[in-house]
Structure 1
Amino acid sequence: MQLHRMLGLLVVSVSVSSLMFTGCTQQRNFEAEAEAQTPTTAAQPQERQANVPYVPTPEKVIERMLKLANVSSNDVLYDLGSGDGRIPITAVQKYGASRAIGIEINPELVQRSRENSQKAGVTDRVSFLQQDLFQTDLSQATVVTLYLLPSVNLQLRPKLLQELKPGTRIVSHDFDMGEWKPERVERVQGSARQHTIYYWVVPENPSANLQ
């Protein structure tokens, strides 16, 4: 009788120990699975959504922006937030820019831009990329045009100063870049309101507070 009781207790003890071991093993597996499911790109920037509403720049303002930047056949123009493509198309068609690249995150606008460039007959010198402008390599640009927002301009300023070559011209419709004072400011009277154009030239040695 005593032997049966001892054997019974031993069986129960082994069963409980097995359950505890199994539970611990399962917990470790769940943790390993959770780590395995964590994206390896978690530390990389997530794809940015369009954070600037699409508002077309009037043709009159575009003309003044490109004249102010003195766009010519020597230039490669990048338009950041290019909308329907009107600035890159005009830069090539009317001012003879050697190349113009529009950067736009909205796929529908990119498609519309490509259709517009085809209608204008400038697809050999104009291209449109569906990209986050903060991820775009700007080092080939000699002219950069913007119609974004004040907060976006400020976020973008260090990238412009780091990637663009000295002498590159930057023209912004309506919004400045905080402490980076423009070389010129012009006003253009539109049909509904007055527009402001800001013009900078990338310096050889930008001030530390601007980067």
Structure 2
Amino acid sequence: MQLQRMLGLVVISVGVGSLMFAGCTQQRNFEAEVQAPTTTAQPQERQADVPYVPTPEKVVDRMLKLANVSSNDVLYDLGSGDGRIAITAVQKYGAKRATGIEINPELVQQSRENAQKAGVADRVTFLQQDLFQTDLSEATVVTLYLLPSVNLQLQPKLLQELKPGTRIISHDFDMGKWKPERVERVQGTARQHTIYYWVVPKNPYFS
């Protein structure tokens, strides 16, 4: 009888211990589920491909003169920064319209304010857009101050969307195998700047 009582106590102890262990295990798993962060992938907003470096006014003037901007022109400035090229094209060179494409919303707001101050907000538009997603087909002049790699990525889009005869002017950076029709250098305060000029051909092909 004594032996049976002792065996019974051992069985009861093991059973209680197993329940306690199971309970602790379930508790830990539950806590892990509660504490584990729930992550949902959020679409990331595209960041600028090019850092903002304003083009000196002296270079802006030379770019627009080289493009022979007139009242017949619709200018698109890709990566328009504070808006100075688009604003100057309308204010000083009489462009019919100008559109600045800029991905940074703060710079877009600043550009719109600058256009208001210059009195040309009715003819100058600034859009917060990815320049690779922008329809360029109405442009007769396109200005750029990007990077060599971005210029090369952009080249097929320019040749596909722009009409033959459209002028393209780039500050400082060329387009690889697409040789410019003219190259000019402008001495700035701190360094020399280079301006490249192309005209979109009727049958563009570059091997």
TM-score clears 0.5: yes
Aligned to 1:84: 82
C-alpha distance 207-95 of structure 1, shift in aligned 2 (>3 A):
same
Larger radius of gyration: 2
Aligned-partner Cα distance in 2 for 1:55–1:203: 30
Aligned-partner Cα distance in 2 for 1:66–1:47: 32
TM-score by length of 2: 0.79
Is 1:48 the counterpart of 2:46 in the alignment?
yes
CA RMSD between the two structures: 1.6
Aligned to 2:6: none
List alignment gaps of at least 5 residues for structure 2.
Answer: 1-39
Is 1:199 the counterpart of 2:197 in the alignment?
yes
**Which residue type is aligned with residue 161 of structure 2?**
E
Query: Would you identify which runs of 4 or more consecutive aligned residues in structure 1 move more than 6 Å?
Result: none
CA contact (8 A) 1:52 1:149 kept: yes
Aligned to 2:111: 113
**Which residue type is aligned with residue 110 of structure 2?**
R
Aligned-partner Cα distance in 2 for 1:115–1:68: 27
Aligned-partner Cα distance in 1 for 2:111–2:41: 37
Describe the SS at the equivalent of 2:52: coil
* Identical aligned residues as a percent: 86
1:48 shift after superposition: 2.6
Within the candidate set 100, 120, 123, 1:122 is matched to 120
1:161 shift after superposition: 0.2
Alignment of 1:57-76 (within 5 A): 57-76=55-74
How many aligned residue pairs are there? 168
Aligned to 2:152: 154
Aligned-partner Cα distance in 1 for 2:58–2:202: 32
